[in-house]
Chain A
Amino acid sequence: MIEDIIAVLKENVIQGRRTVDDEGIDEALSGKPGVVELTQSALDNNIPLERIITQGLTAGMQVVGEKFAQKEYFIPDMLASAEAVGEAMEILKPHLEASDVQTKGKFVIATVKGDIHDIGKNIVAVLLKGAGYEVVDLGIDVPTEKIVEVVKESETQFLGLSALLTTTMLVMREVIEALKQSKIRDKVKVLIGGAAVSDEYAKEIGADAYCVDGFHAINVLDSFQKAGAQ
């Protein structure tokens, strides 16, 4: 029974089925429980959190990543799976807080002041959630002071800033300066992304990394994790 739930959970992650109402790729799964229901069922059956995460959610995402690399899956598939895993993590969150199982870390993300573009930012948020990060999405047109305040209060390790426009990318520099003035710059890694920015611009304003897309962001964060562990 336990084996079954974990195996079906993993399969539903691969299929990107968030809930019972979702279509996957395999029509045979239509009308059957999705990742959300199966995660709850796993908890109800007292399956250990670590097993739900590693053998169900993470193992499923690993297969999704492989299919993506082989061009069998595309970004919408990846996002559907990541979104399903993100919702599962929300269900598991209170249980994780009461246990000693750790998430990969906290990630605050925002589109900077003056910019209302959020497609890329939202995709990054979904993918990072699916990759096991606790994501705090502040939304669009976020004032610099608000970003600094949340970083300070949440003690986040990672901050993602997004801007599409050449006019609003300048605000990213202001955010970094404000973090310095609040004396928390060394406590948080700042990642920037968006159509207007580049690796060169990240270096110029003192950001820690420029990310082309959500997948790149996951790799960059993982490299920070590895460097931190050494």
Chain B
Amino acid sequence: MPREGILVRTPYERITDEQVQQIHHASMEILSDPGLISFNKDAAEIFRSNGADVTTVSSGDNPSWLIRIPEELVLSAVDSTNKTVKLGARNLENILVMKGDEPRVFFITGSETNTWLDVDFQTYVRKSEPATEIRVPEFHPRRGTVADLCKSAHVCEHLQTVDGYIRTVNIQDKDITEDNKDVNKFFASLNNTTKHVMSGLTSLHQLDNVVRMAELIVGGKEQLKENPIISFITCLVKSPLQFVEDTTDTFIEVCRRGLPVVVSSSPQAGTSAPIRESGIMAQINAEVLAGITLSQLVNKGTPVLYGSVPVRARMDTLGDSYGSVETSQYNIDCVQMARFYKIPNYSTSGVCDAKIPGQQSSIGRLFSDLVVTLSGPQFLHCAYGLLDCNAIFCLLQAVLDDAHFQMIKFLLKPALIGEKEISETLTQIREVVATPQKMYIRHIRPVMRSGEISPPYPFEGDLASDNVFALAYERMNELLAKPVEHIDSITTSKIFQEIPGLLPRLNVYEGRS
């Protein structure tokens, strides 16, 4: 049985059907005029050979081509996409099945941050009353390592609401180079979680090693097709409307191998996209559709996700403001656009502007987590532990976010109202109003133990003081102490023999008898 996620039975829609059509038509116009600039020759050739109008813009060291994509080419590509995308997992119970027209949400980690935030607790003494001590969390940023990536995958394996794992931190150890980064980040993730693993690729040269590693884990090429335990994110489009040379190469190669891939576009309203909602929506939709079209021209039927990471610019710095309300609005619009094309949507929430866990981060992320979930994206990423937009990852925050998602999932449980329930209710009401005390408390008990009552907030203190961080920290350490199911020793041995560049310290069996 695959993971259930949570089905949003009546998704929140921000834009009307007419507005969806208006955005769609505007995107079609954009793709034919002004079209996209491609810095990737193969992409230009593929579009040219399939009937797009391709002209050379510049040649020499940095050649580029203008691609004008006719509407019928885009619509035909949209038609040929798989409307159901399956993301496999080492544990078959963790497989994700996403249908483009079904608002069933899966909650995923990510995205890759450079900074890992350590937490420790210091004790302070009140000056005026030295007997009074308080414990206060302190946060220490540092560069992420492969050990951190293992630790984060380990905890996310045990977090109840995490449905899949996108690498949370960029591994920057001294012995990590461009040539071995991909194999190590995929192995560190796959070895510490049995959930689906998705990542970007640093070097195209590592693609086949990563794919081979996955084949060794599942037992072969065909098995990997049947159970794609890995998938890829590619930012092939740079806003506004440009195919990037290297990431487009990666994208094309992933498509050729038929593995699931996200076409991700992340325009910023105000700088790389128009500031108004209509503008950023028309542009991001055009950018994602251009990538989806390319995927189907390379390999018809490539499982592809409509990846949207729109954001509004801050007015003080023109940096990203993921915590802005508009960012959630854009994401909801994108969910609706993807559903219009019946392509599963890779959406974004839970990214906040705050640099440390605290009230701002809680308010910002819970707001976007809730409203974007209500719109019914299939693959909701960035949802755990991200701070300072997507620059910092904090494992403690991921544990706190899991509690948010438990609440959101509970909220979206179907209402238990039917003939049986109404009949029982009438009997109960008649019975209780006839008693002198008129209390329904007696009837709580069977419901309380059936799972119908939402649990209390897991990090609730004594209500007179706020111990949320300390309790979440305890929980995080409990989860780290729980074992995870690593890749078995024989497969691990094969992987280390066959895949070059893996760090010996990642072999959990090394040194064991």
Q: Do the two chains bind?
A: yes
Select which of A25, A79, A118, A137 is within 8 A of B441 by beta carbon.
A79
Residue among B436, B437, B439, B449 having the largest count of chain A Cβ atoms under 10 Å: B437
A-B contact pairs, 27 of them (CB 8 A): A16-B445, A23-B445, A23-B446, A25-B445, A25-B449, A74-B448, A75-B441, A76-B441, A76-B442, A76-B444, A76-B445, A76-B448, A77-B445, A79-B441, A79-B442, A80-B441, A80-B442, A80-B445, A83-B442, A118-B437, A119-B439, A122-B437, A122-B439, A123-B439, A123-B441, A126-B437, A137-B436
- Report B174 CB to chain A, min CB distance, Å: 47
Within 8 A of A (CB), among B206-237: none
Residues of chain A within 8 A of B436, CB atoms compared: 137
- Report A140 CB to chain B, min CB distance, Å: 10
Residues of chain B within 8 A of A122, CB atoms compared: 437, 439
Residues of chain A within 8 A of B445, CB atoms compared: 16, 23, 25, 76-77, 80
Complex Cα gap A79–B439 (Å): 11
The closest CB in chain B to the CB of A25 belongs to B449
Residues of chain B within 8 A of A77, CB atoms compared: 445
Q: How large is the interface on B (under 10, 10 to 19, 20 to 34, 35 or more residues)?
A: 10 to 19
Complex Cα gap A133–B445 (Å): 25
The closest CB in chain B to the CB of A71 belongs to B456
Complex Cα gap A130–B444 (Å): 19
Complex Cα gap A118–B436 (Å): 11
Q: Beta-carbon contacts of A101-139 to B below 8 Å, as 1s and 0s?
A: 000000000000000001100110110000000000100
Within 8 A of A (CB), among B433-459: 436-437, 439, 441-442, 444-446, 448-449
10 tightest Cβ-Cβ pairs between the two chains A and B: A76-B444, A122-B437, A76-B445, A76-B441, A79-B441, A23-B446, A122-B439, A80-B445, A76-B448, A80-B442
Within 8 A of A (CB), among B405-461: 436-437, 439, 441-442, 444-446, 448-449
Complex Cα gap A83–B439 (Å): 12
Residues of chain B within 8 A of A83, CB atoms compared: 442
The closest CB in chain A to the CB of B439 belongs to A122
Q: Beta-carbon contacts of B376-392 to A below 8 Å, as 1s and 0s?
A: 00000000000000000
Complex Cα gap A16–B437 (Å): 18
Complex Cα gap A3–B445 (Å): 29
- Report A84 CB to chain B, min CB distance, Å: 10
Q: Beta-carbon contacts of A139-178 to B below 8 Å, as 1s and 0s?
A: 0000000000000000000000000000000000000000
Complex Cα gap A74–B446 (Å): 12
Residues of chain A within 8 A of B437, CB atoms compared: 118, 122, 125-126
Residues of chain B within 8 A of A123, CB atoms compared: 439, 441
Residues of chain A within 8 A of B446, CB atoms compared: 23
Residues of chain A within 8 A of B441, CB atoms compared: 75-76, 79-80, 123
Complex Cα gap A123–B449 (Å): 21
- Report B425 CB to chain A, min CB distance, Å: 17
- Report A227 CB to chain B, min CB distance, Å: 28
- Report A43 CB to chain B, min CB distance, Å: 25
Within 8 A of A (CB), among B132-157: none
- Report B240 CB to chain A, min CB distance, Å: 56
Complex Cα gap A83–B437 (Å): 11
- Report B435 CB to chain A, min CB distance, Å: 10
Complex Cα gap A77–B449 (Å): 11
- Report B456 CB to chain A, min CB distance, Å: 10
Residues of chain B within 8 A of A75, CB atoms compared: 441
Residues of chain B within 8 A of A23, CB atoms compared: 445-446
Complex Cα gap A123–B436 (Å): 13
Residues of chain B within 8 A of A125, CB atoms compared: 437
Within 8 A of B (CB), among A40-63: none
Residues of chain B within 8 A of A79, CB atoms compared: 441-442
- Report B257 CB to chain A, min CB distance, Å: 52
Complex Cα gap A126–B441 (Å): 11
Complex Cα gap A79–B444 (Å): 11
Beyond A80-B445, A123-B439, 4 additional contacts (C-beta under 8 Å) are A25-B445, A79-B441, A80-B442, A83-B442
Complex Cα gap A76–B436 (Å): 18
- Report A26 CB to chain B, min CB distance, Å: 11
Residues of chain A within 8 A of B439, CB atoms compared: 119, 122-123
Complex Cα gap A80–B437 (Å): 13
Residue among A23, A75, A76 having the largest count of chain B Cβ atoms under 10 Å: A76
